[in-house]
Structure 1
Amino acid sequence: MKKNDHVSIMYDLQDETLEVGPGPLKMHFSLASGQLTRMINNRTGVDIPIQQSYLWYGSSSGDSDPQASGAYIFRPNGGPPTVATRLASLKVTRGSLVDEVYQQFNSWIYQVTRLYKYKEHAEIEFTIGPIPLDDSIGKEVITRITANMVTNGTFYTDSNGRDFLKRVRDHREDWTLEVTQPVAGNYYPLNLGVYIADGKSELSILVDRATGGASIQDGELELMLH
């Protein structure tokens, strides 16, 4: 019989932050809010404040736009996205090769973050649903990563899983864009990933399925999840 080397730990919320990661990549979580606050790569020296949150855009019903939001159409109702929660429960499992962080953001959003001893990236697995509809509002659920970076409206998305193409918010290379959809008009299809860079550091997200991504504000990346 082999001894289990994984230890599950619940932390005292009176502490301030928790560092997770058995390898060069470290992630810091606030024990007061349960949210990600910082990422550090001890090999490269990168150390950036960073946040991750779950939000949802209210879906347009078509009363103020000729096209309603639907299964293959993203049309938010024009209002700002609603933050799902500002507090998350936090549980950590530590092992010799991998640390896992379990977060529950509300009754229908869960997340597991894994950091491996010999890897310099974090793996995130989310579970969403069933999405509540008791308020009769459709919800376009996203996750948003916010970093302390100056990106000047520029981000990069893959083209059919091949080269990454430069995207500039509210801009098209071949014609003058009339912005009527400031959110949906800046979302692009992702098969591989999306990243932002500012000359000092780069923040990349790789996806395991086709989805949509955007950078609506400088230093931010959004992924459409549901």
Structure 2
Amino acid sequence: MTMMPRIPLPDGNFTFEWDGGQPDITCDGPMTTYAFLPVDIKRGETIQIRIHRDTVSHCVDLLDPYTPIEMEHISVSYLGENEAGESQFSYHNKDTGVSEKISTSLMAYDSFQNTSEHVSGAYIFRPEHEDGQAYSFRNEITKRELFCGKNVCILLMFGDTVINNIIFNNFNDFIRLETVFVGIPYSEQGKEVVMRIRAESIQNNGVFYTDSMGLELQKRVVNERPYWNLDVNEPVAGNYYPVNNLIRITDNNTALEVINDRPQGGTSLKDGEIELMVQRRLYVDDEKGVNEPLNESDDETPEGPGA
């Protein structure tokens, strides 16, 4: 697997080992170097690296992750995780005066696998339950680190299934979220994992907007179509739309937009909430042309760790 981990690096010799989870690296002292490492590595492979601080541009401060982050245009505080497994943040825009409480979480749908009907597969997204209720795909946070330099702060949250890098800078008023998904563990039940981003104050009344192939925004209304009466048989999949560049919710007072870096499926099933598909692992072929289940693993066996 080719990856470019963004990790804190101490001076001198050290070992970097990646097992699909948290990078096994420790740093001594309050100051550390932050660098990009283009490395081709596989799970369990260990490599030796030597680096000096004078080979990178600057050093950054290692701070408590709960430290309020004061940037040029925004102020952000990490509030921890709630009982539902959501990571919570408070956001304040210094230019507009807008304040909002934002949370992110991973959820999962069980895939429909009854082959007597259309199953969930490479071409079809169909949750198991008619009510379409997702459940928490627990990502237990095992380590948090906050690094702040002159113009950039990065909050790293290492979980057992996902590593989140949350990046703030002095040049913009938005937050950048990078998600490294380790994989879905093997089981006989297919799973479709989504990320939900929620803004507590927004009441968008079932209305959201997605871009049309990167062009103008298209208005979407939950369980409705603009030109015909929709018979709602799939309350989740029937409200998913392609999101190539942007998905937006607003109540004319506050807006929440997610600009993604790759095409994804997305929706807004509840007020104040944006949902994007991030990973799927399925064990039944939908017979639409691929001729195999959407079951990818790292060790080339169907029961291996999720890719």
TM over 0.5: yes
Q: What is aligned with 1:202?
A: 255
Q: 1:96 aligns with which of 142, 150, 164?
A: 150
Is the aligned partner of 1:19 residue 2:68? yes
How has the CA–CA distance of structure 1 residues 27 and 66 changed in structure 2, closer, same or farther, with 3 Å as cutoff? farther
Is the aligned partner of 1:66 residue 2:120? no
With structure 2 as the length reference, what TM-score do the two structures score?
0.66
Write the letter of the residue equivalent to 2:156: Y
Residues 18 and 31, structure 1, Cα contact 8 Å, conserved in 2: no
Q: CA deviation at 1:9?
A: 2.8
Q: CA deviation at 1:32?
A: 6.0
1:39-50 matches, cutoff 5 A: 39-50=91-102
Write the letter of the residue equivalent to 1:155: F
Q: Could you say which structure has the greater relative contact order, defined with CA pairs below 8 angstroms and 6 or more residues apart? A: 1
How has the CA–CA distance of structure 1 residues 69 and 110 changed in structure 2, closer, same or farther, with 3 Å as cutoff? same
My pick for the range that moved more, 66-75 or 191-200, is 66-75
How has the CA–CA distance of structure 1 residues 67 and 162 changed in structure 2, closer, same or farther, with 3 Å as cutoff? same
Q: CA deviation at 1:28?
A: 1.9
Q: CA deviation at 1:137?
A: 1.8
Deviations 1:43-99 (A, max 9, x none): 111101111111111111135x72111122211112521212375342111111110
Q: Which portions of structure 1, spanning 4 or more consecutive aligned residues, are displaced by more than 6 angstroms?
A: none
Q: What is aligned with 2:287?
A: none
With structure 1 as the length reference, what TM-score do the two structures score?
0.89
CA distance in 2 between partners of 1:185 and 1:3 (Å): 49
Deviations 1:176-220 (A, max 9, x none): 001011011111001111000101111000011011110011111
Residues 18 and 30, structure 1, Cα contact 8 Å, conserved in 2: no
Is the aligned partner of 1:37 residue 2:89? yes
Write the letter of the residue equivalent to 1:37: F
Please give the secondary structure, in 1, of the residue aligned with 2:145: strand
CA distance in 1 between partners of 2:270 and 2:80 (Å): 27
Q: 1:4 aligns with which of 58, 78, 81?
A: 58
Aligned-residue CA RMSD in angstroms? 2.0
How has the CA–CA distance of structure 1 residues 87 and 217 changed in structure 2, closer, same or farther, with 3 Å as cutoff? same
Please give the secondary structure, in 1, of the residue aligned with 2:238: helix
**Unpaired stretches in structure 2, ≥5 consecutive residues:** 1-53, 280-307
**Unpaired stretches in structure 1, ≥5 consecutive residues:** 12-16
